[in-house]
Amino acid sequence: MMIPALLAAALSSAAYSEIEVCNERAEAHRVAVSGVIDGQRFTEGWLHVAPGVCVSLGVVQGPEAYLFAASGAVMAGGRFQGWATPAPEAGGGHAPICVSPGENFSYEGARTECGRGEAAGYFQRIALEGDHTLWRIR
């Protein structure tokens, strides 16, 4: 049986990493993240990342997080309207997670059953690297 002080120390030693996204493409991208903070999964977006710019998504708890970047998202009046052609597709290491309409969204968990007005974004799984993880949009 673990004593409370050791249990607290074990829980506080969970790996945290700041995620920085660098856009190396010629067009702006919108980025969403799905990760864990204090043991609770969350999904949120959209963060606008201009060409040639690096921005911080904040700190998440390891060992992994999921990131999604789209330049082909159709937005109208601040609302998500769907994907431009071609739509993002499932691939190795990708997970379909629902993105909500609007300029910004945030919810607990990682929904895979999309509701009305939502669409699946194929999030790339990344391993967190120490206290700073860099993800490049190439």
Cβ–Cβ under 8 Å, residues 66 and 35: yes
Q: Is the pTM of this model over 0.85?
A: no
The tens-digit pLDDT sequence of the chain (138 residues) is 333 332 233 334 458 899 999 999 888 888 889 999 888 999 998 888 999 999 998 999 988 898 887 766 666 776 666 655 444 454 555 778 888 756 678 889 988 888 877 877 778 888 888 899 998 988
C-alpha distances in Å from residue 13, one per residue of 7, 38, 62: 10, 11, 11
The single-letter DSSP state of residue 8 is H
10: Cβ contacts below 8 Å, ≥ 6 apart: 2
Q: Which residues contact 5 (CB under 8 A, 6 or more apart)?
A: none
Tokens of 1: 């049986």
Give me Rg for the CA atoms of the chain.
16
Q: Please report, for the chain, the start and end positions of each structural domain, with discontinuous segments joined by +.
A: 15-137
The partner residues of 134 in beta bridges, in order of sequence, read 20
